[in-house]
DNA sequence: GTGCATCCTCTAGCTGCTGGAGGATCAAGG
DNA sequence: CCTTGATCCTCCAGCAGCTAGAGGATGCAC
């Protein structure tokens, strides 16, 4: 069977070497075997697992959710409701983020549309930032996002 | 003129006390006067400045951009092109983020639509994460975003 | 005077990596 | 055999933008 160094695994998956070590450290990737000189040696399974992680991260799943998804993936006889729930949760987090950004987009658009040519004293952008009442006021404070960093 | 404690300023602006101290530390807010017992004392100007910062943060402006905007706001005889440019830059950053999230939204939607009822072995969600070719592949790795954290 | 709120500084933690220091090891060329 | 450069190791610091806690000093009302 094929054995890989960490650099080879990095090339195969497009995940950087320090990131792979980081995933091992936080327990997303199992600690691999080592050579006599303490170098990590990976089998083919690691490629699949790391690709899974990478894909999930690209979709914005937080690490804790990926941990759950990997556990599920490792035990295929389990019911898959949890996986569905995690995906649904992530979807709604993404949608919430989009909606929030669209509010910002509208307000920024207004600022940019009203852009002045003169001095800062008459600048609409600065003015709008000073006077919150000029905007729709729809943007949120958004502390402690419930789910993903995104 | 009205003098405020840090707690009062926090209440007046909706910005938390440690955050105010943090803004002072990174130089967004000037260091205020102190009482004999070393407590911070703010004037009314601080309310306006902090509200400005809060609003800009809500709009997703990164701290460095806010620093620039505050400098501009402090010297109203300057031309306001920089302010316009910062707003435009922020707008395009927000738009880019929205576009990226919409790609994720579509892919997650597909996953959720295909959600299975049985075991993980047949779970579409897990399968989609394993097999990148099942999705549009449009999502980016998005390392080192050029502008805002958002 | 007693108790609680508020303030102070300092430090560490959050997420998800990224990069560097300082050193060991490996493989290839001369 | 020796050198060179790539790769590997561990550990630690840093990014953004806060947030929270320790441990202690005041302030104020009853």
CA distance A39 to chain B (A): 27
**Are the Cβ atoms of A141 and B105 closer than 8 angstroms?**
no
Note the pLDDT tens digit of each residue in A96-131: 899 888 988 888 888 888 777 766 666 878 888 887
Contact present, A132 and A139 (Cβ < 8 Å):
no
Is the pLDDT confidence value at A74 over 60? yes
What domains can you pick out in chain A, each with its CATH number?
A: 6-74 (1.10.1660.10), 87-134 (no CATH)
DSSP state, A135?
A: S
Q: Which nucleotide has its C1' atom closest to residue A37's CA? A: C25
Output the pLDDT for position B142: 45
Q: Which nucleotide has its C1' atom closest to residue A8's CA? A: D7
Percent of chain B with pLDDT over 90: 43
Please count the residue pairs, one from chain A and one from chain B, whose beta carbons lie less than 8 angstroms apart.
176
**Are the Cβ atoms of A108 and B77 closer than 8 angstroms?**
no
Note the pLDDT tens digit of each residue in B69-112: 999 888 877 887 888 888 898 898 899 899 888 988 988 888 88
Alpha-carbon A124 to chain mean position: 35
What nucleotides of chain D have any atom within 7 angstroms of a protein Cβ? 7-11, 16-21, 25-27
Beta strands in chain B (DSSP E): 33-34, 40-41
Handedness of CA A126, A127, A131, A137 (dihedral sign): negative
Note the pLDDT tens digit of each residue in A33-44: 999 999 999 999
What nucleotides of chain C have any atom within 7 angstroms of a protein Cβ? 6-10, 15-20, 24-26
Cβ-count burial of B109 within 10 angstroms (0-12 exposed, 13-18 middle, 19+ buried)? middle
């Amino acid at each position: 069977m094929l054995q890989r160094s960490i650099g080879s695994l990095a090339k195969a998956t497009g995940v950087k070497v320090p990131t792979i070590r980081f995933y091992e450290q936080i327990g997303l990737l199992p600690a691999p075997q080592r050579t006599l000189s303490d170098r990590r040696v990976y089998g083919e399974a690691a490629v699949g697992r790391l690709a899974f992680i990478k894909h999930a991260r690209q979709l914005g799943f937080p690490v804790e959710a990926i941990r759950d998804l990997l556990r599920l993936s490792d035990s295929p006889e389990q019911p898959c409701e949890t996986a569905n729930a995690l995906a649904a949760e992530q979807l709604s987090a993404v949608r919430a983020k989009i909606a929030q950004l669209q509010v910002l987009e509208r307000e920024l658009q207004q600022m940019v549309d009203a852009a002045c040519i003169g001095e800062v004293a008459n600048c609409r952008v600065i003015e709008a930032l000073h006077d919150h009442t000029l905007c729709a006021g729809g943007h949120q404070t958004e502390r402690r996002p419930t789910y993903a960093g995104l």
